[in-house]
Amino acid sequence: MSDFFEEIKRNIIAGKVDQEDEGFDGDLAGKPGVIELVNQAVDENVSPTDILNKALTPGMEEVGRKYEEGEYTIADMLASAECVSEATNILKPLLLKEDVQSKGKFIMATVEGDLHDIGKNIVSTILQGSGYEVEDLGTSVKADKIVNKLKETNANFVGLSALLTTTMERMGEIIELMEKEGVRDQATVCIGGAPTSEDFAKKIGADVYAKDAFDALGKLEKTAG
129 near ligand B1M, rule: CB under 6 A: no
CB 181, min distance to ligand B1M, A: 20
Cα–Cα nearest to 108, from 80, 86, 129, 136: 136
123 near ligand B1M, rule: CB under 6 A: yes
12 near ligand B1M, rule: CB under 6 A: no
- DSSP notation for the chain: -HHHHHHHHHHHHTT--STT--TT-GGGTTS--HHHHHHHHHHTT--HHHHIIIIIHHHHHHHHHHHHTTSS-HHHHHHHHHHHHHHHHHHHHHHPPTTPPP-EEEEEEEBTT----HHHHHHHHHHHHTTEEEEE--SSB-HHHHHHHHHHHT-SEEEEE--STTTTHHHHHHHHHHHHTT-GGGSEEEEESTT--HHHHHHHT-SEE-SSHHHHHHHHHHHT-
Which of 1, 29, 100, 115: binder of ligand B1M (CB under 6 A)?
A: 115
Tell me the C-alpha distance between 44 and 68, whole Å.
Answer: 35
Residue at 125: amino acid letter: T
Tell me the C-alpha distance between 177 and 204, whole Å.
Answer: 12
Nearer to ligand B1M, 31 or 76 (CB): 76
68 near ligand B1M, rule: CB under 6 A: yes
81 near ligand B1M, rule: CB under 6 A: yes
As beta bridge partners, residue 160 has 109, 191
190 near ligand B1M, rule: CB under 6 A: yes
CB 80, min distance to ligand B1M, A: 7
Q: Which stretch binds ligand B1M (CB under 6 A): 17-25, 38-46, 62-70, 171-179?
A: 62-70
Nearer to ligand B1M, 129 or 192 (CB): 192
105 near ligand B1M, rule: CB under 6 A: no
Q: Which stretch binds ligand B1M (CB under 6 A): 23-31, 33-41, 117-125, 129-137?
A: 117-125
CB 182, min distance to ligand B1M, A: 22
Q: Which stretch binds ligand B1M (CB under 6 A): 8-16, 39-47, 94-102, 184-192?
A: 184-192
Which residues in this chain contact ligand B1M in the complex, by CB under 6 A? 57, 60-61, 63-64, 67-68, 74, 77-78, 81, 113-120, 122-123, 159-161, 163-165, 190-195, 210, 212-213, 216
